Chain A
Amino acid sequence: MKSMILKEFLELRRDKRTMAMIIGLPLILLVIFGYAARFDVTDLKTDVYGPQAKTVAGQLKDPFDVKETSTSKGKDQAEQALREGTVDVAIVTGSSPSEPSTAYINGANLFAAQTAVASIATSEAPIKPDVLFNPDLETSWVMVPALVGMIMALIGTLITAIGLVKERQAGTLEQLAVMPFKPTDVIAGKIVPYFILGAFDLVLVTVLGCLLFGVPFNGNVLIFALGSALFLLAVLGLGVLISTVSQNQGQAMQVAMMSIMPQILLSGMIFPLESMTWGVRWIGYLLPLTWFNKIANGVMLRDAPLSSLWVPLLVLAAMAVLLLGAAVLRFRRDLAPAMPKIPAKTTATAGAGR
């Protein structure tokens, strides 16, 4: 038995990724759950509009954080601000101090909305809540758009990485390298099927989510499609990148799961980003799912206009270019012949071009 234990330790010592998981994962989970696993929202971005805006704003206490007061704006501007996602709550006052105000709440931001409703109920100010975009504060309405992203991340990253590593493990990648394919043909040939499958799953999950859970699709399909395509390209790039640093399917699965788990935990899908300390929140902003969630949630629930979603679209586009670019460069290196590390002297290959 002693020799068996010794052998296991020897193997583990050489399996650096598993060792990294054994040591690193508890630390990562501790930090994530310690600093990120919070459902309470302590800060609600609030605008106050209407003739009594300054008076009502003065009556508001934490968690309402008043960003703007305007006596010239009204209900339409309040709805617009919520639709664009610039605020969590927009309060529209009555014309006189005795007339109650209406707090329009962004129901698409579930935890913020729940906090706002609870805070208004205990507030001394005469404000009545009106939850927009998710009037019954249904969890499924918020989860389904995020789940669409999570499923695409799983297909794009995990399945792609495993599929590509399988080719390397079987030795057929070498075969492709000697066939008359350009590296771009091989890379595109491997990515396109997963893109199509990911897109199919996207449509399937979105349609089923809407039918089964009654989640509305209020926004522009084209914006949603554009955001989804960019997100899918980014996660596909991540999958290809993972495949280039993995020697077998087990390794690919390990790394892919380690890239997906933070996306689930830190993208705002489960825990609101606003509740996380900046020490971990910044990690969330580096993850593609965070930005896709903003697009999916915005389009499906709030009918958010393109003008309010250009930042997440731009960030996803940049991520797609960066990840796919890095993946293609590394993949090309895998397909390229092994060249000498020292300068060649009289190397000549007659007619060996493609």
Chain B
Amino acid sequence: MNGPTAPAAATGPQWGASGVTVVFGKGSAQVTALSEVSFPVPRGQVAAVVGGDGAGKTTLLRTLVSRVGPVSGTVSAPPQRQCAFMPTGASGVWVDLSVEENLNFVGAAYGLTGPDLEQRKARLLETADLAKARDRLAGRLSGGMRQKLAFCMAMLHEPDLLVLDEPSTGVDPVSRVDLWRLISHAAAQGAAVAMATTYLDEAERASTVLVLDDGHVLAQGTPSEVLAATPGVITTGTAPAGDPDLSWRRGRAVHSWHPGPARPGENALTPDMEDSVIAATLARHTTAGGVT
């Protein structure tokens, strides 16, 4: 992968969500998908949102592109024409159209024609390493290639706000590198990039990280701020140190967590993003009334 995404100088308005609460359903079926979540997405930066299944990542991204209306809070986004949304699993790609036809359709939707469209297509396809596949049906592309096509389609009109829902999920490591190159390039060009990811090593490369759990904010800030705010103490060993429900495997090692300060003789581990997110989740569930 490339080096970390350097926060670019943020100019112009800052997009994002502020104190947003989203509720689905009615009466007894009511579910709070997001609870007073703030998620700033500055221009020229990549803001990542991470969390487990059902944490509220997709809902948060959908509020940014006006696909979900919050019951309270504020969403700030450019006009829809200047937004782009890449849904998870490259589901925004028309599989019965070729790579080129997909891009032509999106180009026509945004009023792009002639040499301008051709130049943008050529540049994106070249960067995404899809130039040789421009006549291939999108349905016949590999998962990674289709994700990259979806990204190219989202970037074609050079949006101010680029919203990516798990762009690299299910993508092979090489394509992930390509995708990150594209994402970094988009941010470097000045786009505000909001992305959800399940890969915590990717989140560490973002300018800011929001950790969600069950619609609540667990941690937020730059990656180093999130790591520094890791609650409790994490240790490593070959077996769980204490409650097995507070331990998890990392390769051959077992990491264990407990709240509060380090105990005598304990060697606290410097957490990475994965350890930090797990610790924050365990801390929330422990204080909420026992580990679940």
Contact = CB atoms under 8 A, between A and B. Distances in A.
A174 interface: yes
Interface in B1-40: 22-26, 30
Bin chain A's interface residue count: 20 to 34
A114 B74 CA distance: 74
B67 A174 contact: yes
A23 interface: no
Contact of A354 (B24, B81, B106): B81
A125 to B, nearest CB: 66
B212 interface: no
Contacts of B26: 341-342
B109 A338 contact: no
Contacts of B91: 170-172, 174-175
A229 interface: no
A262 B78 CA distance: 50
Contact of B85 (A175, A181, A341): A175
Nearest to B74: A348
Given A344-B69, A349-B75, A172 B93 contact: yes
Bin chain B's interface residue count: 35 or more
Given A177-B67, A341-B26, A349 B87 contact: no
Interface string B182-195: 00000000000000
A179 B106 CA distance: 8
B77 A342 contact: no
A179 B66 CA distance: 11
B74 A346 contact: yes
Contacts of A181: 109
A4 interface: no
Contacts of A341: 23-26, 30
B199 interface: no
Contact of A175 (B24, B68, B73, B92): B92
A341 B239 CA distance: 48
Nearest to B81: A180
B117 interface: no
A347 B73 contact: yes
Contact of A178 (B23, B74, B75, B80): B80
A339 interface: yes
Nearest to A179: B109
Contact of B77 (A177, A180, A345, A349): A349
Contacts of B70: 340, 344, 347
Contacts of A348: 74-75
B194 to A, nearest CB: 13
A180 B159 CA distance: 12
A21 B67 CA distance: 35
B68 A353 contact: no
B150 to A, nearest CB: 9
B286 interface: no
Contacts of A172: 91-94
B83 interface: yes
A349 to B, nearest CB: 5
B21 to A, nearest CB: 8
Contact of B95 (A170, A346, A354): A170
Nearest to B111: A180
B259 interface: no
A175 B66 contact: no
A340 B71 contact: yes
B244 interface: no
Interface in A174-216: 174-175, 177-181
Contacts of A343: 71
A94 B219 CA distance: 102
A347 B26 CA distance: 18
Given A177-B67, A340-B23, A352 B87 contact: no
A341 B70 CA distance: 10
A350 interface: yes
Contacts of B94: 170, 172
B256 to A, nearest CB: 39
Contacts of A342: 23, 26, 30, 71
A146 B224 CA distance: 73
Nearest to A175: B92
A111 B26 CA distance: 57
B76 interface: yes
B65 interface: yes
B67 A353 contact: no
B84 to A, nearest CB: 8
A339 B80 contact: no
* Interchain residue pairs A-B with the least CB separation, the first 9: A171-B91, A175-B92, A345-B72, A339-B69, A340-B71, A350-B76, A178-B85, A341-B26, A180-B81
Given A175-B85, A340-B22, 15 more contacts: A170-B95, A171-B89, A174-B92, A178-B67, A180-B110, A340-B23, A341-B23, A342-B30, A342-B71, A347-B71, A347-B72, A349-B66, A349-B75, A352-B78, A352-B83
5 contacts: A171-B92, A174-B67, A351-B76, A351-B77, A353-B79
